[in-house]
A and B are shown apart, each in its own frame.
Chain A
Amino acid sequence: MAEGLDFERLVACYYEPLYQFAFSLARDESDACDLTQQTFCIWAAKGHQLRDASKVKTWLFTTLHREFLGTRRRQTRFPHIELEFAAAELPVVSPPTINRLDAGQALAALARLDEIYQAPVALFYLQDCSYNEIAEILDVPLGTVKSRLTRGLGRLHQLLTGTTTQPQPPNL
């Protein structure tokens, strides 16, 4: 049972990766702090319902992602722009530079992806979550995760290098 988990230890283990995920989604320090805090508040209220302690990490990331989506729905200040329309304005990072990316550059590239690819790509890089874990966190089928990752990563690399690794996702 997960209710035996010590709250402080849980916070110590997961606040940093949760914050990283929150920041990669929200790209705002205050929003990321709030999302992280809210996730632990929900854990404190409902975490005892989780029967399998090995699922705590997935549970926390799922909760944070849902909170983010909920917050996002309430806000209208994020216009959705298809990548194709903005692609011409995007700077390309030279090949030597791409091997020395900092957080700001990585997040800037992530922000340029279509929203649907951002969460799986962030989880892919941040936590080394397995594809199954990413599917569970985002509540989508495994095939969908692989497909989104293939497209999202293809775009990301395209944005960063200006070259195309044409994604061909159907058989994943």
Chain B
Amino acid sequence: MNRDEAKTILLLYRPGTADANDPQIAGALGLAKQDPDLTRWLVEHCARQEALRTGFRQITAPAGLKEQIISEQAAKKITSLSFRRRRAVLAAMAVVAALVVLTPLWFQHRGSGDTYAILRNRMASVALRGYGMDLTTNNPASVRAYLAQNHAPADYVLPAPLEKTAVAGCAIEDWQGTKVSMICFRTGRPLPPGEQSDLWLFVIDRSRVKDAPPVGSRQFVQVGRLRMVTWTEGDKLYVLGMEGDEQALRQYLQG
């Protein structure tokens, strides 16, 4: 093995790992001990390796990701159980009575992950990741009719500027077994290729979300590329998001 071959082999060497047990690497390390030039190269190489490892490991998961994964899985389990119960109801009418009793309990025993922060992150993910509109229309009345027909929140109250903003369509999202109305708007700015809207309003029954902000307060937050604002009005929780700054978002709130 010559010096260049040793360098090639040592490219794969990570100090402090089991790599040194690899026979080829062990051989190259042995050569480095006898060759001052190679030793110098190896010291620099190890420093680079460590810097790169440190760099990669500085990537941190966003806050709430773990809780979101766990809570969504818990919700799926509950949905699955409910489905089984429904089949049992078909088999024996007596279970209907049990379901009537169990349903309120089910609502009370939802997991601790159903907070509005997790809802907000999830909806941001829907908007950013790409979504398909269930209904494409510029008619706000059609949007409400579609949502109502599909038992999603349809009696929402829009701030005056949002009432005047062009509608592009709507979709119905599922969050922990609850329907969320997603109303898509067009602000008039140039849309990225393939996009049909650039402002999204999510509406959900407030009682289904823990820690919803109190009536009268608006909470602004940055989630990924989206600036989002959340508020409560009546029995609904509203989450509005767009790419842009807070000032741009406020345009759609002030009457």
Contacts and interface: CB of A to CB of B under 8 A. Distances in A.
B215 interface: no
B5 interface: yes
A156 B11 CA distance: 11
Contact of A172 (B9, B18, B59, B225): B9
Interface string A38-82: 001100100000000000000000000000000000000000000
Contact of A34 (B45, B60, B129): B129
B58 A103 contact: yes
Q: How large is the interface on B (under 10, 10 to 19, 20 to 34, 35 or more residues)?
A: 35 or more
Nearest to B58: A103
Given A165-B7, A168-B4, A99 B59 contact: no
B218 interface: no
Summarize B's interface: helix, strand, loop or mixed.
Answer: helix
Contacts of A7: 70, 73
Interface in B44-73: 44-45, 47-62, 65-66, 68-70, 72-73
Given A15-B66, A36-B69, A98-B48, A126 B56 contact: yes
B51 A98 contact: yes
B57 A126 contact: yes
B69 A11 contact: yes
A2 to B, nearest CB: 16
Contacts of A171: 24
A150 B52 contact: no
Contacts of B14: 124, 128
Contacts of B76: 41, 44
A94 interface: no
B12 A103 contact: no
B217 interface: no
A29 B9 contact: no
Interface of A: 7-8, 11-12, 15-16, 19-20, 23-24, 29-31, 33-34, 36-37, 40-41, 44, 95, 98-103, 105-107, 122, 124-126, 128, 130-131, 146, 149-150, 153-154, 156-157, 160-161, 165-169, 171-172
Interface of B: 4-5, 7-9, 11-12, 14, 17-18, 22, 24, 44-45, 47-62, 65-66, 68-70, 72-73, 76, 124-125, 128-129, 224-225
21 contacts: A8-B70, A19-B65, A30-B125, A30-B128, A37-B69, A37-B72, A41-B73, A98-B51, A99-B47, A103-B55, A106-B56, A107-B55, A125-B52, A125-B56, A126-B53, A128-B53, A150-B12, A154-B11, A157-B45, A161-B48, A165-B11
Given A36-B65, A103-B56, 17 more contacts: A12-B66, A19-B59, A24-B56, A33-B68, A37-B68, A37-B72, A41-B73, A44-B76, A101-B54, A102-B55, A103-B57, A103-B58, A106-B55, A128-B17, A165-B11, A167-B11, A172-B24
